[in-house]
Structure 1
Amino acid sequence: MSDQVYVGNAGVDAAGDRGWLLGHFKPPGDPRHSEDVEIKWGVHPAGDERAEWVKGEARTALLVLISGRFRVELPGRGVLLSEPGDYVVWGRGVDHSWRAEEASTVLTVRWPSVPGYRVG
C-alpha cells in the first residue's frame, strides 16, 4: 500500500518541478501521476508576471489565492484576488495572464492534464 501513498510538503516538492505537484508529467506509478488533473503550488515574488499571455488554453483552470495579492488578466477583464480563499475559474479557450501585486502563494488546479501541452 505504501507505493500508493505520497506524503510531502507543497513548498518543498513544488520547487523541484516549476510548482507542479500532480499531473501527467509525474512518473507512471507515482501516486501524483494523473491524466485527469494538474495541481500547482505557485510561489511568486512581488512583481512576478507571465512573460506573455497564454493563448488557446486547452484546459479549464481554478486559481485560489493562499496569501498575497494576485491579479489574473482575462479578455476584457482583470480579476484581483486579495483575500485568502479568493478564487477565479476560467474555461477552455480563455486566454489569460497574471501578475503578483505582492508576494503571493496561489494554488492552481487545471483539468484535464494534457500530455505534450506545456505553456511556460
Structure 2
Amino acid sequence: MTDTIYVGNADADAAGDRGWLLGYFKPVGDPRHSGDVEIKWGVHPPGDRRAQWVTGEKRTALLVLISGRFRVELPDRTVVLSRRGDYVVWGHGVDHSWYAEEESVVLTVRWPSVPGYAVGT
C-alpha cells in the first residue's frame, strides 16, 4: 500500500504550497489530502509579517515554535513565543495575525481543513 504512505522533508515540501504540508488542497488520493486537518511548516525571515489580519476564522489553530522568536497577535492580547516548544491555541472565531521577531520556524495545525480558504492564509 505504498500509495497511502508519503515520505518527505518539510523544508523541501513546504515550498510547494506556501508552507502547507497537509490539508484539503492536496490532490485526492495523496496521503497528505485531508478534510479534517491542515499542517504548515512555516519558515519566516526576521520582520516577516502576515499581510492582513485573519477575520471570521472558521477553524481552531495550534502554533508551535520550533526555533526563533515569533509573535502572535490576537484581538485582546499578544503572545510572544520565544522558547522552543512554546505554543498558542486559538479557537473558532478568533481573529489573528503574526510577526517574526527573529528568523523563525513554526509548525501550525488547523482544523478542520476548510475548502475555500486560500492555501496561504
TM-score, with length taken from structure 2: 0.97
Segments of 5+ residues of structure 1 without an aligned counterpart are none
Counterpart code for 1:27: P
Q: Moved runs in structure 1, 4+ residues, more than 3 A?
A: none
Paired residue for 2:56?
56
Counterpart code for 1:26: K
Counterpart code for 2:104: S
Q: Percent identity?
A: 79
Segments of 5+ residues of structure 2 without an aligned counterpart are none
Paired residue for 2:10?
10
1:109, distance to aligned residue in structure 2 (A)? 0.1
Q: Distance in 2 between matches of 1:51 and 1:28?
A: 30
Counterpart code for 2:3: D
> Could you report, residue by residue, the CA deviation over 1:72-94 in whole angstroms, capped at 9, with x for unpaired residues?
00011000000000000000000
1:51, distance to aligned residue in structure 2 (A)? 1.3
Report 1:1-120 matches (<5 A): 1-118=1-118, 120=121
TM-score, with length taken from structure 1: 0.98
1:67, distance to aligned residue in structure 2 (A)? 0.2
Q: Distance in 2 between matches of 1:27 and 1:57?
A: 24
Quote the RMSD (CA, aligned, Å).
0.8
